Amino acid sequence: GVSWTFSFLLCMCGNNMSAPVPVIIPAAKKATAAVIFLHGLGDTGHGWAEGLAAIKTSHVKYICPHAPIAPVTMNFRMSMSSWFDIIGLSVDSVEDEGGIKNAAENVKAMIDLEVKNGIPSHRIILGGFSQGGALSLYTALTTHQKLAGVIGLSCWLPLRNSFPEAAANSPNKDVHTLQCHGEADPLVPLTFGRLTADKVKTIINPNNVTFKSYAGMAHSSSPQEMMDVKQFIEKQLPPIN
């Protein structure tokens, strides 16, 4: 529709300073919890807002921000929406450390904004897909905000060699984490997902780390995965009477 085109135009000409307003799915009743969900490379918040709207829970507010537009090394320096630069997707690729840390600070600011709006951080789940999932894992492990849960779909852990030290004072040592991955993912191989879950288990309580893989699923989502996400959200963010 028109509004989608309009926000797409906003995205296209928006630079880091004027990032467009996130897509928000308000709670059907008073919001007592929130999910902040970060999209993948080259996407906008709209795609995941649609997916989350289909599994929404009445007391939860869903926030799907748009990444700023920037050149991405891996994609021949083409400009696209991206949370930080990606130089390559192999195990030994150089990582954009400054960009990753800067992006994590921006996500922490989004969480602070919700806290200011009356939703405590321990009632907020941080999640994302691919690059957005990577950023949500990194942010959850390095923030001083206590979170309700973390969702990482088809992703990896950035700056993995900085852990466990990077999470030394983390209040999220017991946070519940749901990681999901397609078994036929050609971009971020299933092995990366498994290795990431193993690494996360050395940083937080391993009993709280759930890893699920889906036969035949590529670098995308599936109805089964979305049901697993819905169940995780409902379990970690129960209604408050």
| Residues annotated as part of the active site | 130, 185, 219
Which H or E run contains 142?
helix 131-142
Q: Cβ contacts of residue 124 below 8 Å, gap of 6+?
A: 33, 34, 35, 36, 111, 114, 115, 145, 147, 148
In 28-156, at which residue ranges do the beta strands (DSSP E only) sit? 33-38, 60-64, 69-72, 78-81, 124-129, 149-153
Residue 145 backbone dihedrals phi, psi, to 5 degrees: -90, 130
Residue 2 burial by CB count (10 A; 0-12/13-18/19+): exposed, middle or buried? exposed
Count Cα atoms within 13 angstroms, Cβ side, for 56: 24
- Give, as one character, the DSSP assignment of residue 35: E
Size of the chain, expressed as the number of residues it contains = 241
Contacts of 53 (CB under 8 A, 6+ apart): 25, 62
Distance CA 200, CA 177 (A): 9
- Which amino acid would we find at residue 54? A
Token pair, residue 172, equals 């999220």
